Amino acid sequence: MSNAKAAAVIGLGVGAMLITQGGDPLDSVGSWYLIWSEMGLRGAPALAFFCFSVGVLFFAIGWLYRQLFSPFELLRSPEDVGYVEEDGRTKAQAANDARRRRKIGELPPVYPNGWYRVLDSHMLQRGEVKSVSILGEQVAVFRGHDGKAYVVDAYCPHLGANLAVGGRVFGNCIECPFHGWQFQGDNGVCVKIPYAEKVPDFASVRSWPTCEVNKQILVWFHCDGEGPQWIVPEQPEITNDEWVYRGRTEHFINAHIQEIPENAADIAHLSHLHTPSMLSGADLRYTNSKIWEFVQHDWKVDWKPESEPNRHCSQMFVKHALRVFGCHWPLLDVSVVARQVGPGIVFLLFDQTFLGRGVIMHCVTPVEPLLQCVTHTIFYQSNIPPVVPKFILKVECIQFERDVMIWNNKKYVSKPLLVKEDSAIQKHRRWFSQFYSENSPRLQYQRDKLDF
């Protein structure tokens, strides 16, 4: 129920309670009734005003509670961020026009091998089924009665019904809503056909290698069907609830997946794109407004790949400082270590003397070749007021949406014109190439058919 509805219900309830007391319903209001009487409010008008005031009060309390204590959750649609609405066009029209006009460039393979986030753990309850689009496929994600999450191809091999649309969980199996065929979650094998004497040995759906770590459900993708080649490390503070969930943001980006992690090695863009104050917002047409010049961000960054046995990992070391009217505020200095694990998962580890410690799980999951779902999920010290991590996530969101406006409108350049100071970009591309195989799928030709 929304705050407005809750406030209306509470206000009406209070009014009904007063009326059923008998006598003058506002006698119990005491001095407030005398004040309203002097204002000319008596009887029904006074009662209505009282109910309205109570409703507004509860609405304000609910709003304040949500702002201070509830998780911060911001879920953007594909057309919400990064497009310029001109000549009376809607956001969706601007987004679709930009997608059609943009040159794609000579792209690397579109689906790197690695682990990808499917859902956050709290989004999938025991016995629940959800439909998810990932890596150009439709999958059914369900949690068995053993508490384990499973991911299988969505379409039943019998007659193609979508297992995630009306399918039910029985034990650790998912049942097709069309004819009742049941498939095991761990291997995809069909174990029951209610009207058949025997289940064919070859009856199965593809089951995706799955793990659940750091309160996220992940799947492994490899173009040649090879099994997982590394594990995603556990963040102990998340597992033991020392760090608790404080919110998430979700964005859809129209770009090749490699563009997003490559930002870590593009050190020069930080001083140009991210120095303007967070107060100036995310729209690049206005971020350099002189109104907000008195607040500026200062960045010092270094990116390095890791060596064996963790060559699938890299690290970006960030030192952030805030300057107000040119003065450095040391209390607000933040150190961040961004550790990327494979092509789609980054641990943004915060350590700040005054504001505490925590992590933002930055996950990039391809939905289709040039559409990426990017989530930022924050876990923070449970003894730190929730408003602190919520503020950090909001600031991260504003800065990230500046990048989104670039990604949604840029062309991928396979042979960029670089200067000496851009050397980390080329190093990053060599590092990232390990996630492609000879048979990694490429985008041969794309014609946009589905609009936002």
Of residues 113, 143, 408, the one with CA closest to residue 256:
408
**Same structural domain, 299 and 336:** yes
Distance between CA atoms of residues 281 and 110, nearest Å: 31
| Residue 351 neighbours by CB distance under 10 Å | 13
Q: Residue 206 falls within a domain, yes or no? A: yes
Let me know: does 371 contact 104? Beta carbons within 8 Å.
no
Rounded Cα gap, residues 112 and 157, in angstroms: 27
The answer to the question of residue 55 being in a domain is no
How, if at all, do strands 72-75 and 243-253 pair? parallel
DSSP conformation class of 145: T
- Looking at the domain assignment, is residue 302 inside a domain? yes
CATH number reported for the structural domain that contains residue 191 in this entry: 2.102.10.10
**pLDDT tens profile 171-227:** 999 999 999 999 999 999 999 999 999 999 999 999 999 999 999 999 999 999 999
Name the maximum alpha-carbon separation found in the chain.
86
- Do 147 and 263 have their domain in common? no
Are residue 125 and residue 95 in the same domain, yes or no? no
| Helix ranges, 89-232 (H) | 91-101
Q: What is the CATH number of the domain that holds 360?
A: 3.90.380.10
Q: Tens of pLDDT along the chain (452 residues)?
A: 555 555 444 554 545 444 444 445 445 455 555 555 655 555 556 666 667 777 777 777 776 766 666 899 999 999 999 898 887 888 888 888 888 888 888 899 999 999 999 999 999 999 999 999 999 999 999 999 999 999 999 999 999 999 999 999 999 999 999 999 999 999 999 999 999 999 999 999 999 999 999 999 999 999 999 999 999 999 999 999 999 999 999 999 999 999 999 999 999 999 889 888 888 888 888 888 888 888 888 888 999 999 999 999 999 999 888 888 888 887 778 889 999 999 999 999 988 878 899 999 999 999 999 999 999 999 999 999 999 999 999 999 999 999 999 999 999 999 999 999 999 999 999 999 999 999 999 987 655 444 54
Q: How many domains does the chain have?
A: 2
* CA atoms of 266 and 422, how far apart (whole Å): 7
For the record, the structure tokens of 440 come out as 């990694």
Strand order in the sheet with 149-153: 129-134, 137-143, 149-153
Closest CA to 82 of 227, 261, 285: 285
Residue 325 falls inside a structural domain: yes
Does 188 share its domain with 324? no
Same domain, 121 and 93: no
Residue 365's identity, in one-letter code, is T
The helix/strand/coil state of 262 is: helix
Q: Give the torsion sign (CA, 413, 414, 419, 421).
A: positive
Query: Bridge-partner residues for 130, per DSSP?
Result: 141
Q: Under 8 Å CB-to-CB from 67, ≥6 apart: which residues?
A: 387
At 341, list the tokens. 């694990």
Spatial distance between the Cα atoms of 175 and 163, rounded to a whole number of angstroms: 7
Q: What is the DSSP letter of 299?
A: E
Tokens for 255?
Answer: 């770009």
Picking from 221, 251, 271, the residue at the C-terminal end of a domain is 221
- The helix or strand, by DSSP H or E, that contains position 142, with its residue range, turns out to be strand 137-143
Q: Is 11 exposed, middle or buried (0-12, 13-18, 19+ CB in 10 A)?
A: buried
Residue 384 contacts residue 356 (beta carbons within 8 Å): yes
Check if the beta carbon of residue 303 is closer than 8 Å to that of residue 425: no
Q: What is the spatial distance between Cα 95 and Cα 420, in angstroms, rounded to a whole number?
A: 35
Q: Are residues 214 and 342 in the same domain?
A: no
Q: What is the spatial distance between Cα 76 and Cα 229, in angstroms, rounded to a whole number? A: 33
- Is the domain of 243 the same as that of 175? no
> Quick one: 268 and 160 in the same domain?
no
Does any domain span residue 61?
Answer: no
- The answer on 264 and 214 residing in a single domain is no
304 dihedral zone (left: phi>0; alpha: psi -120 to 50; beta): beta
The C-alpha atoms of residue 182 and residue 259 are separated, in whole angstroms, by 40
Question: Rounded to an integer, what distance in angstroms lies between the CA atom of residue 60 and that of residue 222?
Answer: 51
Same domain membership, residue 267 and residue 203: no
Residue 2 domain flag: no
- Expressed as residue numbers, the domain containing 312 is 73-102+235-435
Q: Is 198 in the same domain as 124?
A: yes
Q: Which two tokens stand for residue 114?
A: 């690695």
**8 Å CB contact between 346 and 261:** yes
Whether 330 and 245 share a structural domain: yes
Q: What are phi and psi of 380, to 5 degrees?
A: -140, 160
Say if 217 falls within a structural domain.
yes
Q: What are residue 170's DSSP bridge partners?
A: 173
What is the separation of C-alpha 150 from the centre of its chain, rounded to a whole number of angstroms?
21
